[in-house]
Structure 1
Amino acid sequence: MDFGADPYPRYAWLREQEPVVQVMEGQGLYGLLVTRYEDVRMLLSDTRMSKDPRNAPLDWQEAGKGRPLEDRTGLGTHLLTTDGLEHTRLRRLVSTAFTARRVESLRGQVQQITDGLLDEIVPRGRVDLVTEFAFPLAITVICELLGVPSADQEMFRRWTKDFRRWTNKTGSDQAESENARPVGLRDLLGYLTELVDKRREMPADGLVDALIAARDDDDRLNETELLSMMSLLLIGGFETTVNLIGNGTLALLRHPDQLALLREQPHLVEPALEEMLRYDGSFETATWRFPLEPIEIAGTRIEKGHPVLLSLASADRDQAKFKEPDRFDVNRSDNGHVAFGRGAHFCLGAPLARLEGRIAFDGLLRRLPGLTLAVPPEELRWQRSLTIRGLESLPVTFDA
């Protein structure tokens, strides 16, 4: 089985033999990959590790290896590319808008969207669970959160799919086609700009309005920060949920005893979600970090500015942390996974992903009896990305 389909045996070898390893792309260095749980967990919250790509070596930046989000998209400063006081300022402003109360207020809408999608699926007996359930669920919820009118949501989905295909390419593939940003992204950014302008004239009660109004004393988001934050919530928000549902369902289907247990004891859905995130989470690595000074990890000296990738997938299968890490157990108690990161950069959208996951799996387990894979596991296609861990599609059958 190739690395994309099952990277975990290779990660186990790396943790044991080469816990900090060079990753190459073409003729150049892509970065250093850190694979052990304790190292990854420590570096996720280490203030010596910068998220700002301007702290990377100039030749690496010019080669476009990491393709930072603002470089690839034209977006400005945001939560994934800032540190220290700048990051604290942005997160404080955004947190006043993206509150637990606002996420919880979406519960009824998420339930309605889930039920509507399942109403269409249930009579058919076969469906691609990623493209026909997980993706439309996630993107519709994000549209509702941002306040995108229902009449525009199909257009919004097309743009997002276009951008998703492009961001999942490798750095070299992007560089070959990077004379212009993808059409979907240009349209999407234009639409979000217009949406902000309209909401300034006619405020409503959505997240966009809350971000526009977000302030801390006299501080507030400027236009570029506002657009970047909306785009980041969109991109990160739906990808997390799509992959949680796709990867999590596949784990259940490949462990029928755990699927049966979850059907019998639906109250286990919350620990089951955490186990899905640990066992095969939505993101394979965290986004780039750059040391502000030389550091030593697992006996390897990492120089100032050297690009570093932290393998969340490997860390969450580390036998030094988890008992029987390759066993999928929906009732696992030792589940201190790092699938959503840690520290100042802990995923802002984690509560929304968990809410969507709970409702989605409750619906799938109740309404799709006899759920099984429609193709052999080796025929499943995975996205080509070192950062994102997700299926392109998941064909399943069930009792209609």
Structure 2
Amino acid sequence: MAADTLFQRITDYAHRADPYPLYAELRENGVARQDDGSYLVGTYHEIAALLHDPRISSDRRHRTAPDETAEEQLPPSFIGLDDPEHHRLRGLAMRSFGPPHTPDRIDGMHEEITRIVQDLIAGFQGKERIDVVDEFAYPLPVTVICRLLGVPTEDEPRFRLWSDAIVAGFDPTPGEDPVERQRAGTEARKAMALYLGELAERRRGHPSDDMLSAFVNDAGPGGQLTPLETMTTAVLLLIAGHETTVNLITNGMLTLLRHPEALERLRSEPALMPLAVEELLRFEPPVQMLPQRTPLADVEVAGITVPRGSPLILMLASGNRDPRRFSDPDLFDPAREDNQHLGFGSGVHSCFGAPLARLETQIALHALLRHLDTPRLVEDPPEYRRSPVLRGPRHLFIERGGV
């Protein structure tokens, strides 16, 4: 089929369960110009180079034809900005999230994450069938990030509704009118931001051991987040910290159930779990593509000139299966060592919350393998979520042998 329809076919829900043949077709075509003027890149080395190229912008306002379908009521978070503003905001957020200023923030969550995981697994008791998504993978990361931010326990459920609407607003499915979906996502983002902003302001001058308190009380050499920047940064942490981890855990469990020999190996060699999670990030990444990149100048990619301002779509999941970079790329190898995957992106916009997602997934999968004696997939392929960007099962029903 024509290469200029690849994005339409990749984002078609009919291919959600297995987009990998289409990614192979994309790699054969190199850089594929689409009929809407966008350019798809699916080869590893070209994607990696573009992620490190300062001429490639993350700010969609630089597009020749700006996206005007949604009326944004909040400024973009730092992942939608370029340096130096991106660097400033990311640096201020990192003061409260990780090294060198708060090196123990993530490692200090190990016991808390383990307790949350154990409580969720206790809820499986007496059930012959469980939904790994609704009963485990979905509530785990939203609970963790709410605890990190300092959201009261009784308010945690409302974040699922907001998160669902925001993620649906990212869906780039061609041929569908995105206006209503994006409007609902914008309203949900605004509601979440207002809630988190008000919560942060209540902590100003009355700090506690959470990230919202740090945002409003800890001024470093680079200054301090403004109230509006606090809101947009907190929303980013919650959405990015939740949605990608849901898919990583669920895709991980699905992959292990499809590879029973790997599942049994991880049971007998639990020390392999960190390597296995890296392989899951390569093999079934939770973020399949980066659909909003823009060249600030004409850029040559694999012999093709991508004009300044053209939408550039980087297909991370395709790069992760590129045989020019990975040996046996379609083989799931839980002990793979040469594994510099693109599962968390690369360059200055590499995933901010990657250490937390890794820790949650390692603890979660280890616990599931330990407590589920003989898990069996009820349906394969399972029902997938609508989004082609944040790809993962909407439900993952398994029958279990015991807890």
Could you say whether these structures have the same fold, taking a TM-score greater than 0.5 normalized by the shorter chain as the test? yes
What pairs with 1:83-162 in structure 2 (closer than 5 Å)? 83-99=82-98, 100-162=103-165
| Secondary structure of 1:288 counterpart | strand
Contact 1:134/1:246, CA 8 A, preserved across alignment: yes
Displacement of 1:393 in angstroms is 1.1
Contact 1:269/1:358, CA 8 A, preserved across alignment: yes
CA distance in 2, matches of 1:161, 1:10: 27
Displacement of 1:72 in angstroms is 6.2
Select between 324-333 and 198-207 the one with higher mean Cα deviation: 198-207
Percent identical pairs in the alignment equals: 38
1:392 is aligned to 394
Distance 1:72 1:132, change over 3 A: farther
1:22 is aligned to 33
Displacement of 1:115 in angstroms is 0.3
Distance 1:302 1:167, change over 3 A: closer
Corresponding residue to 1:316 among 320, 324, 327: 320
Select between 210-219 and 123-132 the one with higher mean Cα deviation: 210-219
Select between 1-10 and 358-367 the one with higher mean Cα deviation: 1-10
1:276 is aligned to 280
The yes-or-no answer on 1:80 pairing with 2:91 is: no
| Equivalent pairs, count | 385
CA distance in 1, matches of 2:240, 2:314: 17
CA distance in 2, matches of 1:82, 1:13: 32
Corresponding residue to 1:247 among 251, 269, 272: 251
TM-score w.r.t. the length of structure 1 is 0.91
1:365 is aligned to 369
Distance 1:61 1:316, change over 3 A: same
The yes-or-no answer on 1:53 pairing with 2:65 is: no
Counterpart code for 1:174 = P
Displacement of 1:363 in angstroms is 0.4
Contact 1:93/1:214, CA 8 A, preserved across alignment: no
CA distance in 2, matches of 1:47, 1:220: 26
Cα deviation code 1:171-199 (max 9, x no counterpart)? 74431455565664443223112212211
Displacement of 1:151 in angstroms is 1.7
Contact 1:286/1:311, CA 8 A, preserved across alignment: yes
What pairs with 1:135-284 in structure 2 (closer than 5 Å)? 135-168=138-171, 170=173, 172-178=176-182, 181=185, 184-217=188-221, 219-284=223-288
What pairs with 1:28-43 in structure 2 (closer than 5 Å)? 28-29=36-37, 31-43=38-50
Displacement of 1:79 in angstroms is 1.8
What pairs with 1:351-362 in structure 2 (closer than 5 Å)? 351-362=355-366
Contact 1:22/1:33, CA 8 A, preserved across alignment: yes
Cα deviation code 1:212-252 (max 9, x no counterpart)? 23433362211221111000001110011100111111111
Select between 361-370 and 213-222 the one with higher mean Cα deviation: 213-222
The yes-or-no answer on 1:332 pairing with 2:336 is: yes
Contact 2:296/2:308, CA 8 A, preserved across alignment: yes
Displacement of 1:157 in angstroms is 3.0
User: Aligned-residue CA RMSD in angstroms?
Assistant: 2.0
Distance 1:73 1:5, change over 3 A: farther
Distance 1:389 1:214, change over 3 A: farther
CA distance in 2, matches of 1:238, 1:72: 24
Contact 2:278/2:339, CA 8 A, preserved across alignment: yes
Counterpart code for 1:390 = G
Cα deviation code 1:331-385 (max 9, x no counterpart)? 112211011111111111000000101110110010011011012x13x222222
Displacement of 1:88 in angstroms is 1.4
Select between 208-217 and 324-333 the one with higher mean Cα deviation: 208-217
Counterpart code for 2:397 = P
Distance 1:113 1:179, change over 3 A: closer
TM-score w.r.t. the length of structure 2 is 0.90
Distance 1:181 1:236, change over 3 A: closer
Unaligned ranges ≥5, structure 2: 1-12
Displacement of 1:315 in angstroms is 0.3
Contact 1:72/1:181, CA 8 A, preserved across alignment: no
Contact 2:23/2:318, CA 8 A, preserved across alignment: yes
Cα deviation code 1:58-87 (max 9, x no counterpart)? x3433x4xxxxxx56533132211112111
